[in-house]
Amino acid sequence: MISAGIDIGSITSKVVILDDGRIYGSKIGFTGYNAERAGSSIYNSLIEELGIKHENVNSIVATGYGRNSVQFADKTYTEILCHAAGAFYNNSDIRTIIDIGGQDSKVISLSADGNVKDFCMNDKCAAGTGRFLEVIARALEIDLENFARLSLQSGKPASISTTCTVFAESEVISLIAKGESRENIIAGIHDSVASRLSSMVYRVGLNPPVMMTGGVAKNSGLVKAIENRLGTGVLVPESAQINGALGAALLAAKQNYRQ
């Protein structure tokens, strides 16, 4: 049985194809201003690469902020359910999930059978999200890919008093003017984001093992800052960025919508 999961995020769209519960292929692309076109384009591109015909895909589930724009999906699920399913598939011991998206961040608590026990979500402001880090990177004139490397070279993280995107950017500019190093500023930003996320974790209850998902999970500097705040290790799966789409495909596989 072939199932597909499509995650339409604010910055990137992801698709995962499963064949009998195993990952057969995946793809990531920019969402842009047209979420409907992004979902259709990335899905059609992947099945063409894999040599699969649309009519042979048994079920399709869409998730993400733009999930309702995927008109050809059989069903939609929230990011909470999909990220839980994806993380549990990667490691059934996981009990706490931290997911940082482009415009929101989530902490999910799982039961021993993989069901969602509780969750906490920040979707009202960009603080602590991928967009927040992009704004800071632009102010520092650094690629996001270099954030982790530079922050890990910090001798003393700068003190960042706010996680508000607008005020944090102004604070960073002020630190630059005072001669503070980029390494210390980035480390301070990571610690500020980690502080906000750890508060969300404690709100739902810290229960290791902890897994981090989403594209921001590739930032090892931020992962380390979160580990320091929580006092426990944070696992990052290879499929971190496509975790939502993976979970959607797994939920699709549970039901053959076109039987």
The whole-number mean pLDDT for each consecutive block of 10 residues of the chain, a chain of 259 residues, reads 95 95 95 92 97 95 94 96 97 96 90 96 72 85 84 86 70 86 91 91 96 92 95 96 97 78
| β-bridge partners, 23 | 18
N-to-C CA span, the chain: 10
Phi–psi pair at 149, nearest 5 degrees = -60, -45
C-alpha 218/C-alpha 216 separation (Å) is: 5
Instruction: Decide: 195 and 71 in contact? Cβ < 8 Å.
Output: no
C-alpha 256/C-alpha 259 separation (Å) is: 6
3-state secondary structure of 91: coil
pLDDT recorded at residue 124: 61
pLDDT recorded at residue 155: 82
Domains of the chain: 1-91+242-259 (3.30.420.40), 92-236 (3.30.420.40)
pTM of structure: 0.91
pLDDT recorded at residue 122: 81
C-alpha 11/C-alpha 167 separation (Å) is: 22
Quote the DSSP letter at residue 232. Answer: S
pLDDT recorded at residue 157: 86
